Structures are given as C-alpha cells and as structure tokens.
A and B are shown apart, each in its own frame.
Chain A
Amino acid sequence: MFTQQLINGLALGAVYALIALGYTMVYGILQLINFAHGEVYMLGAYLCIIVLGVLTWLGLTAFSLPLSLLITVLVSMVFCAMYGAAIERIAYRPLRNATKLAPLISAVGVSIILQNFVMLAQGKEYKNLPPMLPSEGVSVLGANVSPVQMFILGASVLIMLVLHLFVEKTRLGKAMRATSQDRVMAGLVGINVNQVISVTFMIGSALAAVAGVMVTLYYGVVHFFMGYLAGIKAFTAAVLGGIGSIPGAMLGGFVLGLIENFCASYISSVYKDAFAFLVLIITLIIRPSGLLGQKSMDKV
C-alpha cells in the first residue's frame, strides 16, 4: 500500500516537475511568470491524441508501439517548442522594456487565446484516448508499477538529466546561466540574449509537451481547460522548490505529487488540493525563497 502510493505520487510528481521546469527556467531568465505555460502543456496533450490517431491510421501503432510513442513525443515537443518560441516573440519580446506587469498581463491574454483556440478547433468535449499500453505491470514490493508509470518515471528522469548536463556543460547552457545572472552584461560580452531567451522558451515548452503526452497516456482524457489547473499545480511546485532554481522545480514537483497522493490516501481524497496549498503556505512562511531557492544558486 505504502509503496503503491509512493509510486503513484512519484509518477504524478514527475509530470508536475516537467511542467514546473518551464516556469522556473523562464522566471530565472526574465523574472516573468509565464501564465501561458499550462496551455502549452494542454497543446502537448492534444497533439498526443492527434499524432497517435494519425499513426494508428497509418498502421504504425500496430507495427511498433515504442516507435510510435517516440514519434508522438518528438512531434509534440517540436510543435510545442515552436508555440513557445512564437509566444515569446509575439507576446513578450515587444514588452521586454515595458513595466514588469505588462508581460504578465500579456501572458494571461495568451493563455485565454490558446484555450479558446483549442476549444473552437477541437470542441468543448473531453477527448478520449483508449489505453495504449497494458495495465498489468511489474510487481515491486507488493506494488503494481504499470508500463505507463515506468515510461513516465524513466523518461522524466532521463530528460531532467539531459537538461542538467545541457545547462552545466554546453556553451549554450553557459550562455543561459550568464543571461539569467545579468542580461545586460551578458549582451555586452557578446551573448545573443534574444536567441538565448528563445531557446529557453523552446526547451521549457518541449518539456511541457512531454508532460502533456505522458498525462494523456496515463489518464486517457484531454480537455481544453486542463492546462489551467495543471499550470497552477506546477507553478506551486516551482515556488515550493524555489522559483528560478532547476533542481528546485524537480524537487518541488515530486514533493507536491507525493503530498497529494498521501493526503488523498491517509487523510481525505476531497481535501488533497487544499492540503497541497497548505504545505506551500507553511513552506513559504518558514523558507520564503522555497526549498532550494537561494540567491547564490544559478537560476536559469
């Protein structure tokens, strides 16, 4: 029972963590809370259903399921990365030197536009994806770990590792860290700041796309409004871990997923959301900068 709840919580937390990374990276570099980020995740979920539908029609899912899942993830990532870059170019870049509130309002506007765009294009109804993977999984210490959960946990840990290496080891990663520390100075030493910001948005959006695909495979239902609550939860996770910090977002996501699951099982399934936010408030009272948020940390 405990192990099962632990695994359920980790799978849910991995999804939160992936979305939270997008929030925290953008915040680190622009000090902007990108409220449209939840909608990018929702687009990723819809793309999952659309791409899998096309692949099934072509007969590829029957031929090789892992290959078609890989294609689905990649196509969603590419599309959402383009959405992310376009959102930044259209809605945020013209406001780069405006007051701090202007891009925030712009973000809310983008969020509303994307929600309504999907509602008009795809309908108001829930869209269903029949279960693609078998539900019988591996038994670990009395808990059933389903193939979807293995996929979620494996893929998200892998992606986080790659992201960590990218930020720490590559030239572009170094440029991102520099830009997050001081945008003007980074520009003066020859870093193309606009390009770095675009890349940050693309990476964040691609991560949200992965989360969207995972959730669609996990729960099998998508809805144009799903980005709102997921966005708020992921934002909570980012703040919990310390907004601006990449390891913080990962930790915050997992912690939030675990809190929700254990609260639902041991206290009350009805009050689990309230409990998650209560934990956030308590954390912020004790540690206002979040679990891992410190001024000296590199915040990308």
Chain B
Amino acid sequence: MKKLLCIAFMMVLLSCARQDENVIRIGAAGPMTGDQSKMGVDLKNGTELAVAEWNAKGGVLGKKIEVIVGDDQADPKQAVSIANKFVNQKAVALVGHWNSSCSIPASKYYNDANMVMISPATTNPRLTLQGFKRVFRVCGTDDQQGRVAAEFVLKKLRPKKVAIIHDKTAYGQGLADYFKKSLGDRVQVVYYGGIIQRDPDYKAVLTTIKQGKPDAYFFGGIYPEAGRLVRQAKEIGMNVPMVTGDGVYDPTFINIAGKAAEGTYVTFGKEPAGLSSAKSFMEKYKAKYGEPGPYSIYAYDAANIILTAIAETKTTDGAKVADYISRKTFHGAFGDISFDKNGDVTKAPYVIWQVKGGKFVEAR
C-alpha cells in the first residue's frame, strides 16, 4: 500500500514536471538584478508588452505565447547557464541579452539549439560576425557608434588631446577601441586604459588622466561606472566633457552623477517619442509600466519581429524563421527594420545627445 502511494505520488510529481506543450515560449534575458538591473527590466517589459498584444489577438499558430525570464546579472557565466536553461525549456526564440559580454558567449547555444536570437541592445560587432544564421540585433553597432562619436569630437569639440577609458568588458573595451581607431592619428591620445567595474573609487586613474591635460575624455562602459567617473572627475577639478556611448543613455546616470553629469555627450539612437509609429507603443507602455527605458522599444520590436515571422512561416523551426527574418522588412514601432547578411540592421542612425538641465537633449 505504502509503495503504491509512493508511486502514485511520484506520478503526480512527474505530471507536474511535464511542461505544457500548448504554449510557445519566448525567452527574455538580461541583467534583472544588480546595478544594471534597470536595463534588464526595461527589456523584459518591452518583450512582455509585445507578447501580451499577440495573446490578446489569440496568440500565434493557435497557441498562447509565454515569456520566460532569465537573469544573467550582466555576468557571461550566468548568461551561458541561462542559455542552457532556455534550450532545455524548449523556448523557440530569445529577446536578449543586454550586455555584449553576455550575448556573444550565449549566442552559440541558441544558434546550435535552432533558436532565433534577437538582441535589442548588444552593440559589439562580434555578435553577428560569428557566422550564426539565427542571430540578429535591432540596434546599431559599436563601429558605427565609435565613428559617430569620433567625428563629433573632432568636428565640434576640436580637442588637441583626448583620454580614453573603458570598463574591460566586451562592450566597453570594444567601443573604446572603435572610437580610438576612428580618431586615427588626427588627435593625440594621452591616456588609454581600463578600470574595474563596481570599484567605488576612480580618483587615482582620473588624477593621472588630468595630468595629461586632455580636452575631452571618452568612456566605453555602462552608466553606474560613468556616473561615478564624471562625479569624481569634477571633484578633482577636471572640468572637461565626457563623451560616451549608448550604455550610459539612461536617467539613472544623471541620478548618480547629479550636477556633474551636465555637459556629458552620449551617442544613442533617435528618441522614439517623436515617431508616429511609436505612438501606440509609448501610450501602452506608460500605462502598464511607466516611463519606457532607452531599450524598451528595441525589445518590443524584437519580440514583434520574432512573432510575425513565426506567424508568417507557420512554424517554430528556427532555421525557417531566421531565413524569413533575414529577407523581409518589418514595420516596427521604431520604423521600418530590415537586416543585412550578417543580421545587423541596415540603418542605425546614431545621434549625439548631451545632458542639459538634468535631461538628455539632442546636441547640434
């Protein structure tokens, strides 16, 4: 009797463990906790908003869509373990990861498991240069971004000397390198070097940089470090502007740095608020989650592209879905999106933003 009861109990457990096959799973992965968590949560919200809209219309291929969330903590090791988890859970596609250092190692696992991966935010060019047919991105790349930043610095700031710092991650160092390459020998680089992420104190390295008397300094990295850098730079009396990339484009940067953020230049895409195609997205997002983050709309578009392709090809086979995505033009909230042979978007217009009066405004 006891044995029978045991077996019956195990059967119950087993049937619970068996996954519901009547849903289509889409992964959303990014840093959901830790100092970059706002970015991961923005990404997740954008994905969930798109999926909720599809579910309201009856799902896709007659099935409901479920978003499974993965927290990579901006850590490459965690990202790979999440990739394995999603593959085991039979997710058909992924919106993510946020950090380049996470997307690049994880992309192999998604591609090998015949999953489509669209990153809304990974800008390191290497992601799509690995020859993976199922890997795309809906944002720009760091070589474009580095070039735009370098041209802006040379034309508008006209420095005699610049300093370059990066956070030693795939994204930060990559961006700093492309910036340096685009500058060429047109300006003297007085300092080039890395800092440790999450270190509270950058005064020592900033003092060394100040010694070289640069007219501007470039930082390849993310907003928590950027906020501390500008704040401490002002404290040691270094009053030259910081120029940095899309990883810093978030109000959190201004919260951390306070007044010290004023005058900082940031490369980022155009603001969606003015686009007519983004109007409905902005309204729905605000109603559900509050103010959209910089990458919420990219995640929303990425999810919509995946679901449109699944609906059109009538399959969840990654190879077929990826093939469809690479050939078609999609009408996203951010405008028309199409992909080149690598899986990068064909147009990614970066513009220069500047912090003025506690807000990002387009610099002219």
Contacts and interface: CB of A to CB of B under 8 A. Distances in A.
Interface of A: 1, 4-5, 8-9, 12, 124-126, 128, 130-131, 135-137, 144, 146, 148, 215, 219-221, 223, 226, 260-266, 268-270, 272-273
Given A1-B208, A124-B33, A125-B37, A144 B236 contact: yes
Given A130-B258, A135-B234, A5 B207 contact: yes
B315 interface: no
Interface in B253-279: 255-256, 258-260
Interface residues of B, number: 35
Which residue of B33, B35, B237, B260 has the most chain A CB atoms within 10 A of its CB atom? B237
Nearest to A8: B203
12 contacts: A1-B207, A8-B203, A8-B236, A130-B258, A131-B231, A137-B235, A144-B236, A219-B201, A265-B204, A265-B207, A265-B208, A272-B196
B235 A146 contact: yes
Given A144-B236, A220-B228, 12 more contacts: A1-B207, A8-B204, A128-B227, A131-B260, A135-B237, A136-B237, A146-B236, A260-B204, A264-B208, A268-B193, A269-B196, A269-B204
B211 interface: yes
B290 interface: no
B221 to A, nearest CB: 13
A39 to B, nearest CB: 16
B258 A126 contact: no
Contacts of B234: 135
B20 to A, nearest CB: 30
B224 A215 contact: no
A56 B319 CA distance: 58
Nearest to A5: B207
A4 B236 contact: yes
A126 B5 CA distance: 50
Interface string B168-192: 1000000000000000000000000
A226 B205 CA distance: 21
Interface of B: 33-35, 37-38, 168, 193-196, 200-205, 207-208, 210-211, 224, 227-228, 231-232, 234-237, 252, 255-256, 258-260
Contacts of B168: 270
Contacts of A226: 200
B35 A125 contact: yes
B172 to A, nearest CB: 13
Which residue of A8, A131, A264 has the most chain B CB atoms within 10 A of its CB atom? A264
A126 B193 contact: no
A126 B225 CA distance: 12
B205 A131 contact: no
Q: Which 4 interchain pairs have the tightest Cβ spacing?
A: A264-B204, A144-B237, A269-B205, A130-B258
Given A1-B211, A136-B237, A261-B204, A131 B258 contact: yes
A261 B203 contact: yes
Contacts of B252: 128
Contacts of B35: 125-126, 223
Nearest to A126: B35
B289 to A, nearest CB: 16
Contacts of A148: 235
Contact of B224 (A9, A126, A273): A126
B204 A5 contact: yes
A8 B207 contact: yes
Contact of A220 (B195, B207, B258): B258
A135 B228 contact: no
Given A5-B207, A128-B255, A265-B208, A219 B200 contact: yes
A124 B205 contact: no
Nearest to B32: A124
Given A1-B208, A128-B256, A270 B235 contact: no
Which residue of B196, B201, B224, B259 has the most chain A CB atoms within 10 A of its CB atom? B201
A261 B237 CA distance: 17
A212 B33 CA distance: 23
A12 B205 CA distance: 14
